[in-house]
Amino acid sequence: MEDVVIIGGGAAGLACGIEAGKRGRHCLILEQKEKIGKKLYATGNGKCNFANRAMELTGYHCVAKKNETQISQVMMQKSCLSTEQFMLEAGIPSIERQGYVYPRSEQAAALVHALEAAYLQTGGAIKCGTCVRRVAQDRTGKFFCVETDEQTYQSRRVVLATGGTAASKFGSDGSGYAFAKMMDHTTTPCLPALCGLKCKENGWNRLQGVRAKGTVTLLQDGKYIAEDYGEIQFTRYGVSGIVIFNLSRYAAIGLHNHHTVILSLDLLTEYSARQAAALFRKLRTTCAARPFLDVLSGFLPEPLARYCLLAAGLTDTAVCRELTDRQLEKVAVQCKSQQIEILGTNSFEEAQVTAGGVPLHEINLATMESKKTAGCYLVGELLDVDGICGGYNLMWAWETGRRAGRSL
């Protein structure tokens, strides 16, 4: 009989095991991949941005809107410093850049190895390459049976730390939702988040490889939903980049609910449309004999400048002195409000996280114990919480995993 079986050897599962082990609980981590922490190795391009000192609660979201006020019961301003201290005790000093926190070595592998060592030091055990098929309570409700392909484990407590559905190659194959349902839980729709967006073809494929900074506003049936500022990357299928990733959850939810989703790109954020048109008129005089494309390429990457000119009804050979005030106003509008219709998101395999999961109102957030099945704990991405880029999702995993471990 095990004290605790933790299903999943990712961030939340390791954090839970370490905290529980420190308190004398013997834990067994069951991981279906060949080694633990596979998703951690890929985080932050291998550097593992594990926390964010500038964390804001507005960076977290739920698919079930009534859950959002409950996030503050778990994530607090001190969460980042607490996480850094937790890592330091495991042998991982940190370094910070613009609020983003990394291991001092900037090696995700070092962080995984340190956490594994810290966990094993508490007396915990790990079984990799172990696929869990079923989780159930015995008839008396005194212990759990965790069935795998090889054997059935019995434990007094069970922790579901399986992750969501994003990037199954790292182990997050969605099986945790089935286990949660075995424990009488419900789930919201689960959708790809932190991923690229597919656009309706309108010549955007000619911009493949172009990068530009701007403000991106997401509209749903013409109504404002959210916006973000940052670098936009144009791809063969549509748009990508951190700013797009942060908005992708809203696009996924809107499309799931059969709404029309539009991205409006403001590529000249520092100017209003009127100010941009006025500046173009001045440059028409000072650069009279030059193609206006040359002028606009001083504001935008040339392929994007050409696209905006053509969208305004001008040729890319149009000379500055030949352009009317009205034509320059049209160019300004195109630069300030490029409309892109979104047809879909990239797949779960290309997404970094899952939006949706087990609603927070089904969990005792002080302990992360299920309100449906006593002795079962749910942590990390399995829950209906998704964060923006920059360490937010890992912070949720650390905090929920550690909270469960302490309460075990």
What is the model's pLDDT at position 351?
Answer: 96
pLDDT at 82 > cutoff 90: yes
Instruction: Indicate the residue type of 66.
Output: K
State the total domains in the chain: 2
For the stretch 326-367, pLDDT in tens is 999 999 999 999 999 999 999 999 999 999 999 999 999 999
The helix-helix angle for 11-22 and 392-407 (nearest 10°) equals 30
Which whole number is the average pLDDT over 279-294?
96
What is the model's pLDDT at position 69?
Answer: 79
pLDDT classification of 76: cutoffs 50, 70, 90: confident
What is the model's pLDDT at position 25?
Answer: 95
For the stretch 144-168, pLDDT in tens is 999 999 999 999 999 999 999 998 8
186 and 217 belong to one structural domain: no
206 and 169 belong to one structural domain: no
362 and 327 belong to one structural domain: no
30 and 162 belong to one structural domain: yes
236 and 293 belong to one structural domain: yes
Which whole number is the average pLDDT over 247-276?
97
Q: Where does a domain end: 299, 316, 346? A: 346
Query: Distance between CA 240 and CA 339 in Å, rounded?
Result: 15
339 and 360 belong to one structural domain: no
pLDDT at 121 > cutoff 90: yes
What is the secondary structure of 380-400 as a DSSP string? Answer: GGGBS-EE-TTTHHHHHHHHH
Share of the chain above pLDDT 70, in %: 99
pLDDT at 61 > cutoff 90: yes
Query: Distance between CA 238 and CA 234 in Å, rounded?
Result: 6
pLDDT at 205 > cutoff 80: no
Which whole number is the average pLDDT over 54-71?
87
Query: Distance between CA 173 and CA 349 in Å, rounded?
Result: 10
Which whole number is the average pLDDT over 133-138?
94
For the chain, what is the mean pLDDT? 95
User: pTM of the prediction?
Assistant: 0.94
Which whole number is the average pLDDT over 195-223?
92
Which whole number is the average pLDDT over 241-265?
97
C-alpha separations of 235 from 153, 204, 210, 244, 266 in Å: 47, 8, 8, 12, 18
Which whole number is the average pLDDT over 253-268?
97
pLDDT at 140 > cutoff 90: no
Which whole number is the average pLDDT over 187-209?
91
Domain span at 18: 2-191+351-407
Are 312 and 328 in contact by the 8 Å Cβ rule? The answer is no
Return the H-helix or E-strand segment holding 105.
none
C-alpha separations of 252 from 46, 190, 374 in Å: 27, 10, 33
Q: Where does a domain end: 302, 329, 346? A: 346
Query: Distance between CA 48 and CA 390 in Å, rounded?
Result: 10
Query: Three-class SS of residue 385?
Result: coil
276 and 167 belong to one structural domain: no
10 and 40 belong to one structural domain: yes
pLDDT classification of 78: cutoffs 50, 70, 90: confident
Are 245 and 352 in contact by the 8 Å Cβ rule? The answer is yes
Query: Three-class SS of residue 231?
Result: strand
Chain Cα centroid distance, residue 299 = 31
What is the model's pLDDT at position 139?
Answer: 82
Tell me which residue has tokens 């961030």.
11
pLDDT at 260 > cutoff 80: yes
Q: Where does a domain end: 313, 346, 379? A: 346
337 and 377 belong to one structural domain: no
pLDDT classification of 117: cutoffs 50, 70, 90: very high
What is the model's pLDDT at position 94?
Answer: 96
H-type alpha helices, 206-267: 242-256
6 and 144 belong to one structural domain: yes
Query: Distance between CA 89 and CA 324 in Å, rounded?
Result: 67
163 and 32 belong to one structural domain: yes
161 and 253 belong to one structural domain: no
For the stretch 11-48, pLDDT in tens is 999 999 999 999 999 999 999 999 999 999 988 888 99
Q: Domain with 126 in it: what CATH number? A: 3.50.50.60
